[in-house]
């Protein structure tokens, strides 16, 4: 969710530079089931342009239509969308529409929070019924500081509150700069992850070779930025070089990313582990057990694009703590 809000903030800054007003749509409650859950957001520009989505695409036109009154008077409102009769989704969405005009202090605090990878919270105040109300709106809590999305808005204790905890943007280090790294970078970026490509300085590559990459590091294994690895970070070794993978594993042995994967067959992995333990006897079995190798889910992937999909899917299953299965065999809700 944080990466979606980050994109909304960027688009808001671009829109205001052109003199366009903005309205933020947030799903704050749901009765039944829907394509997406409460907490999803969409920015509507005065010219009708939309950034993000609150559904699979079926609700957005109605959201834009309902947002026109907010553009006109800056008074927030709740709209509902009953998917039981229109979509067959068996759910009613409650969507908060509010004028979106974060000030300079908010924008600076947001950028600092994102850069420092700190958690923050969003509270949206509303009533679960259709209509406009000047007391509806949202507040963002950065540590001990509370900042509104619309200057002048204050918390409303008598209203319902939808509260959402926002984690740092998920980060993926791709170590290697071959064609399959390009494909993985592309898919990971589309998922909203911040992708850093790590390549040997001798390789004639740069960030322009990797669509969607957030950063590019031309470094040797011993210079890998271990301080940037946290529990919202995944690392995948895609060097196609046994010796480079071994050096990186030695460097990463004390790190604790939420996911660490390596390409290559089972026998290559076992050879790496054996040599790794000979070179560094203090390495724990816990570290080895946490390595996903061969990386990816068994979906029959053959091409670089398919392999990238299988790796992204495995990383998602790890960070969401889900055992992969066919959804048709899942008796409870999709989002459970």
Q: How far apart are CA 206 and CA 199, in angstroms?
A: 9
What integer best gives the mean pLDDT of the chain?
91
pLDDT-based confidence at 89, cuts 50/70/90? low
Q: Which DSSP string do the residues of 151-206 spell out, in sequence order?
A: TT----TTSEEEEEEEPPPPEEEEE--SHHHHHHHHHHHHTT-EEEEEE-TTS---
Exposure string over 38-63, b if 16+ CB within 10 A, otherwise e: bbbbbbbbeeeebbbbbbeeebbebb
User: 255 and 284 in contact (C-beta within 8 Å)?
Assistant: no
Q: Which DSSP string do the residues of 17-80 spell out, in sequence order?
A: HTT--EEEEEEEEEEE--SS-TT-EEEEETTS-EEE-SSSSSSHHHHHHHHHHHHHH---EEEE
Please tell me the predicted confidence (pLDDT) of residue 332. 67
Q: Which residues are paired to 174 by β-bridges?
A: 197, 236
Q: Across the chain, which distance is largest between two alpha carbons, in Å?
A: 70
Mean pLDDT over residues 253-270, rounded? 93
pLDDT-based confidence at 331, cuts 50/70/90? low
Residue 85, pLDDT above cutoff 70: no
pLDDT tens-digit series, residues 288-298: 999 999 999 99
Please tell me the predicted confidence (pLDDT) of residue 90. 60
Q: How far apart are CA 12 and CA 35, in angstroms?
A: 25
Q: How far apart are CA 298 and CA 295, in angstroms?
A: 9
For helices 2-17 and 104-115, the axis angle rounded to 10 degrees is 140
pLDDT-based confidence at 155, cuts 50/70/90? confident
Please tell me the predicted confidence (pLDDT) of residue 189. 95
Mean pLDDT over residues 28-44, rounded? 84
Mean pLDDT over residues 86-97, rounded? 75
Please tell me the predicted confidence (pLDDT) of residue 329. 78
Q: Which of 88-92, 115-119, 120-124, 284-288 has the lowest mean pLDDT?
A: 88-92
Residue 236, pLDDT above cutoff 60: yes
CA 16 to chain centre: 25
| Gyration radius from the chain CA atoms | 23
Q: Which DSSP string do the residues of 226-256 spell out, in sequence order?
A: GGG--TTEEEEE--S-HHHHHHHHHHHTT--
Please tell me the predicted confidence (pLDDT) of residue 77. 96
Residue 83, pLDDT above cutoff 80: no
Q: Phi first, then psi: give them for residue 254, nearest 5 degrees.
A: -105, 5
């Amino acid at each position: 969710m944080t990466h979606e809000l980050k994109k909304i903030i960027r688009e808001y800054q671009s829109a205001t530079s052109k003199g366009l007003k903005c309205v933020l749509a947030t799903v704050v409650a749901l009765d039944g089931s829907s394509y997406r859950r409460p907490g999803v957001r969409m920015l509507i520009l005065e010219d009708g342009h939309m950034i993000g989505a609150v559904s699979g695409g079926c609700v957005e036109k109605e959201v834009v239509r309902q947002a026109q009154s907010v553009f006109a008077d800056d008074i927030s409102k709740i709209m509902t969308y009953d998917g039981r009769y229109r979509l067959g989704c068996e759910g009613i969405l409650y969507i908060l529409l509010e004028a979106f005009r974060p000030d300079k202090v908010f924008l600076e605090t947001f950028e600092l929070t994102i850069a420092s990878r700190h958690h923050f919270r969003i509270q949206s105040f509303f009533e679960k019924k259709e209509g406009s109300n000047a007391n509806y709106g949202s507040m963002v809590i950065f540590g001990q500081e509370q900042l509104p999305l619309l200057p002048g808005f204050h918390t409303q204790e008598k209203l319902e509150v939808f509260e959402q905890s926002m984690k740092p943007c998920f980060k993926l280090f791709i170590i290697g700069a071959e064609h399959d790294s390009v494909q993985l970078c592309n898919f990971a970026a589309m998922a909203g992850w911040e992708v850093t490509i790590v390549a040997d300085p001798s390789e004639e590559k740069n960030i322009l070779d990797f669509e969607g990459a957030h950063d590019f590091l031309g470094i040797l294994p011993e210079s890998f930025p271990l301080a940037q690895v946290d529990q919202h970070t995944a690392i995948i070794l895609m060097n196609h070089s046994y010796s480079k993978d071994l050096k990186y594993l030695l460097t990463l042995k004390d790190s604790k990313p939420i996911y660490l994967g390596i390409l290559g067959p089972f026998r290559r992995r076992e050879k790496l582990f054996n040599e790794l333990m000979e070179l560094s006897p203090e390495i724990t079995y816990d570290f080895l057990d946490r390595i996903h190798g061969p990386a990816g889910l068994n979906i029959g992937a053959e091409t670089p694009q398919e392999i990238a999909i299988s790796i992204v899917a495995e990383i998602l299953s790890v960070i969401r703590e889900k055992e992969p299965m066919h959804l048709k065999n899942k008796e409870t809700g999709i989002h459970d």
